[in-house]
Amino acid sequence: MSTPIVGIDLGTTNSLVAIMRAGQPVLLPSPVGSLTTPSAVSIDDSGELLVGEAARARALTHPQRCATNFKRDMGTSRRQHLGELSMSAPGLSALVLTSLQRDAEAALGEPVTQAVITVPAYFGDLQRQATRDAASLAGIEVLRFINEPTAAALAYGLHRLDQELRALVLDLGGGTFDVTVLEIIEGVIEIQASAGDARLGGEDFAEALVELLAARIAEQQGVPPDLEDPQIHARLLAACERAKRRLSAAEEVRVPLPDFPLGDERLDLELSLTRADAEAHWQPLLARLRGPINRALTDAELEPSAIDEVLLVGGATRMPCLIALAARIFGRMPNRSLPPDEAVAMGAAIQAALIADDEAVEDLVVTDIAPFSMGVETSTRVAGRAIGGMFSPVLERGTVIPASRIEHYLPLHDAQDTLVLRIYQGEHALVRHNTLLGEIRVPLPRAGSSEHKSVGVRFTYDLNGILEIDAIVEATGDKHSLVIEQRPGALTASALERARAAMQRLKFHPRESLPNRTTLARADALHVQLRGAPRALLREQIQFFEVALSGQEPREIEQARESLQATIEGLSRFL
């Protein structure tokens, strides 16, 4: 029996795991019954790790012992602190992947060690390598990276293979924004152009509301909230996230902040927020969305009117302002036929089925493109002076992948015995504005003129978006390959082994008790925000649940948990 291959959407805010069953992508649930797992990690007072819903709830009560939004730090050296524990973005992502892996194994009843993992189309080489490191730490072999908009296109296109259409995918997730132009012709999904912003997502819209409400509190009370205080910021951010979601269905919402710390006091605050006010404050963010849209259309050499369908992906696309923006640009309402939170994971499962030669997708073919240009730094002589720092693309953005391209370079002068090839990723003419990936030092023959010291530089870009560079000295045939050293946040083989050993020493909270732990974490987060009679009622229900847990009788625990969950849902209306 073959090993199952799952599809994983490793998101900034939420992550999901899916698999193909009977020709359809199926999402696999977490221990608390949810199809989404928050991309959050926390460590409790006993040193046990919590991943998912329980960790996200603790971000409100114990913000200094929680990590969120770490996907944005992939490919960097930044670390987050959970109490005294310091972890990199790949390490934190590995914990989320491990949680998803366990959910899949519980659902399928067999080990899961292979996966297709989605990444933003605008993730560069460093970020993709960091994602591979995270999977390796979790004991997962990445069979393929697939760009998130491409995965969404697979999910939308699975039952439309007999149609011919040109579509544009708008993917606004929690932390990233991607735009992809594609064409479906006779079962072939061809990606024509991609653009995006790896630091723009729904979280930014919530943070913008934090700024807006903080300014209003300062205006009304004469004292600004201390946003440098992690707990105060977490309180406001949670309230703004709820308000943002409610504004998708309402023109105006209340934002209650009971028992809110302000200066030396604790006040019961309540603010009113209209959709119009929020959208006015979001205008700079909405303006940033237009740039990648225009760039993708330009690269595809298309006018907005040439797009047959606009597909919305990512939870943040539920915002009416984004739907309206898409309608204004393209002159038609966008397609929202699939749940925006789930489409990417479904597409990853379809890609996994393609790799597994599943008969259900045998008529489906998908091509992808390189989202960035990649090349080398060059110098030239102008009026006898060497002018350096120029970018020479070897592989242009929009190239269909897998691809291999070669360019030839010469030393500046005859006596030069080494050619230093600095590899960059980006679109700017000057390399200082692009991203340095690494360098190769190529020894040259000592004899001969510069014209006889040509070096062929080949860039090979695979379907996972991983770049390999070979430099060949044509006079000697000597070949040198790129080994990127000191990549920010990257792990060497020995560092990976050390990190795996460190992860094995971490204590994961038992999976079977996560529903109880998650319910308690949600109750505690709500208790912090309430006061008076609602708070007393919740405290009473928490006590009943603690008594049931101490009795260790499964039926009583389940009944008490359900009662506490109902109380949480009922009291949440006060927020």
Question: How far is the C-alpha of 141 from the C-alpha of 128, rounded, in Å?
Answer: 14
| Of 47-56, 447-456, 477-486, highest mean pLDDT | 47-56
Q: 251: how many CB neighbours lie within 10 A of its CB?
A: 9
First to last CA, the chain: 51
Residue 9 a catalytic site member: yes
Match 């379907």 to its residue by tokens: 463
Would you say residue 575 has pLDDT above 90? no
Question: Using one digit for the tens of pLDDT, what is the confidence trace for 272-289?
Answer: 999 999 999 999 999 999
Match 């204004």 to its residue by tokens: 328
Residue 148 a catalytic site member: yes
Instruction: Say what the pLDDT of residue 491 is.
Output: 64
Average pLDDT over residues 19-40: 94
Average pLDDT over residues 293-310: 96
Match 């205006």 to its residue by tokens: 219
Would you say residue 471 has pLDDT above 90? yes
Q: Looking at the chain, how many residues does it have?
A: 575
CATH second-level architecture of 5-200+297-369? 2-Layer Sandwich (3.30)
Phi, psi of 7 (to 5 degrees): -105, 130
* Set 171, 178, 204, 439: catalytic member: 171
For the domain made up of 374-477, the CATH class stated in words is mainly beta
Determine which helix (DSSP H) or strand (DSSP E) holds 131, and give its type and residue range. helix 125-137
Question: How far is the C-alpha of 277 from the C-alpha of 275, rounded, in Å?
Answer: 5
CB hemisphere CA count around 307 (13 angstroms):
32
Question: How far is the C-alpha of 129 from the C-alpha of 90, rounded, in Å?
Answer: 9
Identify the DSSP state of 84: T
Question: How far is the C-alpha of 195 from the C-alpha of 202, rounded, in Å?
Answer: 18
For residue 439, give every residue at least 6 positions away whose Cβ sits within 8 Å of its Cβ, in sequence order, or none: 420, 421, 422, 423, 482
Instruction: Say what the pLDDT of residue 156 is.
Output: 87
Would you say residue 560 has pLDDT above 60? yes
Higher pLDDT, 113 or 369: 113
User: Token pair of 60, please?
Assistant: 């409100």
According to DSSP, the residues that pair with 311 across neighbouring strands are 169, 335
Q: 308: how many CB neighbours lie within 10 A of its CB?
A: 16
Report the range of poorest mean pLDDT among 1-10, 397-406, 503-512.
Answer: 503-512
Residue 71 a catalytic site member: yes
Domain ranges of the chain: 5-200+297-369, 374-477, 511-574
For residue 41, give every residue at least 6 positions away whose Cβ sits within 8 Å of its Cβ, in sequence order, or none: 49, 50, 51, 55, 66, 67, 68, 70, 82, 87, 92, 95, 96
According to DSSP, the residues that pair with 43 across neighbouring strands are 49
Instruction: Say what the pLDDT of residue 486 is.
Output: 42
Instruction: Say what the pLDDT of residue 1 is.
Output: 54
**Residue-averaged pLDDT of the chain:** 90
Average pLDDT over residues 187-197: 89
Cα four-point dihedral sign 194, 8, 73, 486: negative
Instruction: Say what the pLDDT of residue 188 is.
Output: 85
Q: What is the pTM of this model?
A: 0.85
Helices (H) and strands (E) in the chain, counts: 14, 28
SS3 assignment, position 104:
helix
Q: Residue 164: pLDDT band by 50, 70, 90 thresholds? A: confident
Question: Using one digit for the tens of pLDDT, what is the confidence trace for 209-254?
Answer: 999 999 999 999 999 999 999 999 999 999 999 999 999 999 999 9
Instruction: Say what the pLDDT of residue 534 is.
Output: 87
HEC readout, 139-200: CCEEEEEEEHHHHHHHHHHCCCCCCCEEEEEEEECCCCEEEEEEEEECCEEEEEEEEEECCC
Higher pLDDT, 533 or 466: 533
**Exposure string (b/e) for 123-151, b if CB count within 10 Å is 16 or more?**
bbbbbbbbbbbbbbbbebebebbbbbbbb
Would you say residue 126 has pLDDT above 80? yes
Instruction: Say what the pLDDT of residue 419 is.
Output: 94
CB 371 within 8 A of CB 354: no
Higher pLDDT, 523 or 381: 523
Instruction: Say what the pLDDT of residue 485 is.
Output: 43
CA angle 251–257–263, rounded 5-degree value:
130
Question: How far is the C-alpha of 535 from the C-alpha of 572, rounded, in Å?
Answer: 11
Residue 133 a catalytic site member: no
Q: Residue 47: pLDDT band by 50, 70, 90 thresholds? A: confident
Would you say residue 2 has pLDDT above 80? no
For residue 406, give every residue at least 6 positions away whose Cβ sits within 8 Å of its Cβ, in sequence order, or none: 394, 456, 457, 458, 459
Higher pLDDT, 492 or 321: 321
Angle separating helix axes 532-551 and 554-571, nearest 10 degrees: 170
* Set 53, 148, 197, 299: catalytic member: 148
Average pLDDT over residues 374-379: 94
The DSSP string of 482-540 is ----S-TT---HHHHHHHHHHHHHSEEPPGGGHHHHHHHHHHHHHHHH--HHHHHHHHH
Identify the DSSP state of 367: E
Cis peptide before 402 (omega within 30 of 0): yes
Instruction: Say what the pLDDT of residue 18 is.
Output: 98
Question: Using one digit for the tens of pLDDT, what is the confidence trace for 412-446?
Answer: 888 899 999 999 999 999 999 999 988 999 999 98
Would you say residue 324 has pLDDT above 90? yes
Question: Using one digit for the tens of pLDDT, what is the confidence trace for 254-263?
Answer: 999 988 999 8
Instruction: Say what the pLDDT of residue 508 is.
Output: 63
Question: Using one digit for the tens of pLDDT, what is the confidence trace for 63-103?
Answer: 999 999 999 999 999 999 998 899 999 999 999 999 999 99
Question: How far is the C-alpha of 283 from the C-alpha of 379, rounded, in Å?
Answer: 41
Phi, psi of 340 (to 5 degrees): -60, -25
Question: How far is the C-alpha of 107 from the C-alpha of 21, rounded, in Å?
Answer: 12
